[in-house]
Amino acid sequence: MPTDRPGLLAWAQRWSVSPAAVAAVLERVDGGPAVPPFSGLPDGVRRELVRLPLAALSQLRDLTDSTPLAHRSSPGSPQRTSRRGEVPGRAPAAAWSVLDAVDQAVCVADVRAPDSPIVYVNPAFTRTTGFSEEDVLGRNCRFLHDGLLDPSADAELEALGTSSAEVAAAVQRIRDLLAEGGAGEVVLVNRRADGQLFVNELSLSPVLGADGAPVHYVAVQRDTTPYAVVRRARAALADELDQTARAVQASLVPATLPELPGWRIATGYQPATSPDGHRGAVSGDFFDVFAGPAGAGGSWYVVIGDVSGRGPRAAASTGALRWALRGAATTHSEPAALLAAAGGAVHEALDDRFATVAAVALSVEAPGGRGSRPGAVVTLALAGHPQPVLLPAHGVPRLVGRPGTLLGPFAEVEVSEVEVELAPGDQLVLYTDGVTEATDPGGRQLDEQGLLDRLAGLTEQERLAPDAAQRTVAAVTAAVTDHVAGGPVDDLTLLVLARPAS
């Protein structure tokens, strides 16, 4: 069949395809069969010709009067007809040969005809779907999703991370685009001729007639099944990692806290979130409550700490530190000695990491027992940890404790002790740096003063309530949430030690 050489050259120039690239195709059309051997074209020519079929799709009505199949007839052979019995129009042979050579599946539907039948498919379409031209010409493309709109297909669709409802929504999106005469992209699952499912990334473009209404719709299809399978596997792996992270995080804190007569303890933990709102990796925050040396007059330890870094290594280091503290507590009755012993034990285990810990030693008295008193004195030691806040039942909250050497980098640490008296209704608020380093969208941190201001805003009624410790945890958490204003937050851990008001 003769080639419309001048028309193709003018059309290619309009879409910035060089005459040399077109000539390379025409040489093969002129010298052999209607479908030229593109495998011999230089890479530069092949890359340039990518623009040719894309332009052809958007200008289809300029290239053909009816169905674009004539270029596949051998010289001298009768022209082919579609299932609708129409004689294919004459199109520039090279233009449709290039369409045939495109690796992406292409099909064209005549939206003027009843039920919008398919009037053209390229070889990539038949390779992708497994359906031959004879199978599809004259049919509406809905056969590609037959049976996939029924909920009974959900088990099969689940392997690709979708459902019949999502397929139905995608089909409705296609119908809406056709009704509007608009262009758009839709992703949906289709079924090949052999019954296998594939994920079809579909790009739809209308070809307008002289009256401005669509006469054809061009669908460029891309099989993205491998990507969908990878995304599905990644999602499953992410879910498994998240569950593992939650289990690891839970192992870093006691499942339940002991009840200490004369004391009330409340804790709070909020995992880090990234800017997109997803949960962060396992952190090194922890807290614990455990007994001191046997025979030490009913002494107990309350500790809170933070190991630098995230992920499995941070979790392993945190676990080692937590159990080192518990081990040291069997022989050390003072918090400074406890921290020094634990720091020496984990110095090498922490490797290039460091940890901050606050330890409080307190005595437990039987309620109403001899020598019991309404107030109590606790001993506080800080190894590089933020200063806790003493929140009195009446009055202004203040920071307490003396900063000490953090654990990890040094084999020996220097830690000081201070005594803190808690009157009835007083609370000692311990926290990790995720509280004070919470940052608003403008880059301003909440810092210690912001924490003090928020705690100062608690009324006496709130401070003296039976659940005062829980209320304080909630207030601090809310202060952080309000300050970041929807932005990302670091892990924050709270432990409130309260002396009952009565």
What is the model's pLDDT at position 73? 44
> CA 341 → CA 328, 335, 346, 454, distances in Å?
6, 10, 9, 36
Rg (CA), the chain: 37
Buried b or exposed e, range 150-187, using 16+ CB within 10 angstroms: eeebeeebeebbbbbebbbebbebbeebbeeeeeeebe
Walking along the chain (502 residues) 10 residues at a time, the average pLDDT comes out as: 54 65 61 43 58 40 38 41 35 56 86 88 92 90 93 92 94 93 93 94 89 89 87 81 73 86 91 65 84 76 90 80 92 93 84 90 68 76 96 96 90 90 96 93 93 96 95 95 84 93 82
Is 191 in a helix, a strand, or coil? strand
Report how far residue 236's alpha carbon sits from residue 140's, in angstroms, rounded to the nearest whole number: 36
In the chain, what's the furthest Cα-to-Cα distance? 117
What is the model's pLDDT at position 371? 46
Asked if domains 103-223 and 255-498 share a fold, the reply is no
Looking at domain 103-223, its CATH class is alpha beta
Measured in degrees and rounded to the nearest 5, phi and psi for residue 242 equal: -65, -45
Is 295 in a helix, a strand, or coil? coil
78: Cα within 13 Å, side-chain hemisphere: 4
Which alpha helices (DSSP H) does 330-416 contain, by range?
335-346
Torsion sign (Cα): 24, 25, 31, 35 = positive
Residue type for position 169 = A
What is the model's pLDDT at position 240? 81
Which alpha helices (DSSP H) does 41-163 contain, by range?
43-49, 51-58, 93-101, 123-129, 133-136, 154-157
Report how far residue 101's alpha carbon sits from residue 112's, in angstroms, rounded to the nearest whole number: 27
Beta strands 417-422; 376-383: pairing state? antiparallel
| Conformation bin of residue 446: beta by default, left when phi > 0, alpha when psi is -120 to 50 | alpha
Report how far residue 120's alpha carbon sits from residue 101's, in angstroms, rounded to the nearest whole number: 14
Report how far residue 429's alpha carbon sits from residue 454's, in angstroms, rounded to the nearest whole number: 12
Q: Which fold has domain 255-498?
A: Phosphatase 2c; domain 1 (3.60.40)
Report how far residue 212's alpha carbon sits from residue 344's, in angstroms, rounded to the nearest whole number: 81
Measured in degrees and rounded to the nearest 5, phi and psi for residue 85 equal: 80, 10
Report how far residue 34's alpha carbon sits from residue 95's, in angstroms, rounded to the nearest whole number: 11
Beta strands 376-383; 355-363: pairing state? antiparallel
Beta bridge partners of 305: 286, 357
For the beta carbon of residue 430, count every other beta carbon within 10 angstroms: 26
Burial of 427 (0-12, 13-18, 19+ CB in 10 A): buried
Residue 339 has which token pair?
């921290």
The DSSP letter of residue 110 is E
Report how far residue 319's alpha carbon sits from residue 254's, in angstroms, rounded to the nearest whole number: 12
Is 115 in a helix, a strand, or coil? coil
- Assessment of whether the complete model's pTM goes beyond 0.85: no
Beta bridge partners of 200: 188, 223
Residue 186 has which token pair?
């839709």
What is the model's pLDDT at position 5? 61
Q: Do the Cβ atoms of 163 and 188 come closer than 8 Å?
A: no
Q: What ranges do the domains of the chain cover?
A: 1-101, 103-223, 255-498
Residue 42 has which token pair?
């230089």
Residue type for position 176 = D
Q: Do the Cβ atoms of 379 and 360 come closer than 8 Å?
A: yes
Written as one string, the DSSP assignment of 434-474 is HHHT-B-TTS-B-HHHHHHHHHHTS-HHHHHSTTHHHHHHH
Residue 306 has which token pair?
């933070």
> CA 272 → CA 160, 234, 326, distances in Å?
30, 21, 27
What is the model's pLDDT at position 462? 95
Alpha-carbon 30 to chain mean position = 54
